[in-house]
Amino acid sequence: MLAYGIFKVIYSPREAFKEIAQNPKYFGPILIMLLFIGANVGAFYVLITKTYVEATEPDKRDLWTEDKAFWRPLNGAQCVENSTDYIAGNYYGNRSIEFSVEQSDKIAMELQNIGSVNCSQGGYTRIYLRVKWTSPNYAPQNASLCIYSGAASSHLDITGKFSSAAPNVWNNLTITLADLERLGDIDWGNVTGLRLEMAWNQTANIRVLLDGLFFGGVYKPYAEEATTYIALYAVNSFMQFSLRWFLLGGMIYLLTRLFKAKTIWRVSLVLAGFTLITMFVQAVASAATFSALPTLKYPLEYIGGVKGEAEIAYNKILEETWLVNRVYSVLQMVILVWSVVLCGIAIRLATEFPWTTSLLTAFTAYFVAVFLETFLMQI
């Protein structure tokens, strides 16, 4: 019998379980476990090949709006780090950069010493910036952004970005660098800094805060960075199968003993292991399901974790994958029912319980095993 009947359990479970109960060996469940690990890792790999994550510069939190040393205030402005008013999120730190100037109609600040950022073809295509001003209490009349590459520069009028912006709240600006490229001849593969200028139509005490400044717009395959995660996923799959196997075998043994069956531990454990062929089938089916997914792009709004933005970004991904998620949910339910039925058949053949008792025992044993497995995996 090929691999001690592991595949016979799928198409002829009664005959397979009879043979297994007469000659219980651990080789079959161990082989099923190895097949499951391989298929589960394969399903994970299919999923991550569909996954793209927005790359940013800087790539480790919002470095540039955490440290005022990166900034040079212009036109008499002052610059401090603000640790009470900032953007809260996974990708952001715990400070913003605050600029202020008294009795002026404009304020300007320059970001410098950022190294070299590639914004040429294939490089970053956007600038993300959070801006908040608390004084004056109306939007600037003019706003401009200047991109530096060494001594050369390129300018863009971004006044329109403030048309729907409001004072005393954090405004999220997204600036497309393609617009900038048409307004200056610089080396876009070597962007070295930028300058932001905001102007009002009358003098006032101006106070502006900046946070969450990133170059972005490029999506990189998650698989390029997931080698370690694949290894960890294989270990996790091993633990998942092992826990479910021993917990299910233990529950079947205890429950059938409660019903006065002369159950043998080895037989219970081996039968339980063979019923978990469903986990292998589920992993294979999951890989096939994931292959039908569209390209999944996780933008900065999602990985940034800002409350409200992350939910909106995630809901958009859910909308794009609605059909595949439905198919996957149905698959989960089918596998669940199939697993309980196989356990019921195994219990009946091993104990000669009535079908009702066998299925009830199988249902209880399987769900308790899965519950305990989930609990232990989270510890």
* DSSP H or E segment with residue 241: helix 227-258
Q: Are 214 and 128 in contact (CB under 8 A)?
A: yes
Residues 209 and 228 in one domain: no
Q: What distances in angstroms separate CA 145 from CA 151, 161, 184, 283, one per listed residue?
A: 15, 11, 12, 51
Residues 285 and 228 in one domain: yes
**Of 79, 154, 68, which Cα lies nearest the Cα of 113?**
68
Instruction: Write out the two tokens for 347.
Output: 């219990």
pLDDT value, residue 121: 84
Residues 266 and 360 in one domain: yes
Residues 193 and 291 in one domain: no
Residues 62 and 211 in one domain: yes
Q: What is the pLDDT of residues 231-280, one digit of tens each?
A: 999 999 999 999 999 999 999 999 999 988 888 999 999 999 999 999 99
Show which of 220, 238, 271 is a domain's final residue: 220
pTM (two decimals): 0.84
φ/ψ of residue 186, rounded to 5: -130, 170
Q: What is the pLDDT of residues 47-88, one digit of tens each?
A: 999 999 999 999 878 899 999 999 999 999 999 999 999 999
Q: What is the CATH number of the domain that holds 196?
A: 2.60.120.260
Residues 337 and 261 in one domain: yes
Q: What is the pLDDT of residues 109-141, one digit of tens each?
A: 999 999 999 998 889 999 999 999 999 999 999
pLDDT value, residue 1: 45
Per the structure, how many domains does the chain have?
Answer: 2
Q: Calculate the CA 217 to chain-centre distance.
A: 18
Residues 341 and 195 in one domain: no
Show which of 169, 188, 220 is a domain's final residue: 220
Where in the sequence is the domain holding 178, given as residue range(s)? Answer: 56-220
**Of 275, 127, 298, which Cα lies nearest the Cα of 215?**
127
**Of 349, 377, 369, 357, which Cα lies nearest the Cα of 278?**
369
Residue 35 has pLDDT above 90, yes or no: yes
Residues 63 and 211 in one domain: yes
Residues 363 and 243 in one domain: yes
Residues 241 and 347 in one domain: yes
Q: Are 274 and 9 in contact (CB under 8 A)?
A: yes
Residues 243 and 312 in one domain: yes
Q: What is the pLDDT of residues 311-362, one digit of tens each?
A: 999 999 999 999 999 999 999 999 999 999 999 999 999 999 999 999 999 9
Residues 368 and 297 in one domain: yes
19-23, 47-51, 270-274, 363-367: segment of lowest average pLDDT: 19-23
Q: What distances in angstroms separate CA 188 from CA 37, 50, 119, 152, one per listed residue?
A: 46, 30, 5, 10
Q: Are 217 and 124 in contact (CB under 8 A)?
A: yes
Show which of 169, 190, 220 is a domain's final residue: 220
Residue 2 has pLDDT above 70, yes or no: no
pLDDT, average across residues 281-287? 97
**Which of residues 10 and 177 earns the better pLDDT score?**
10
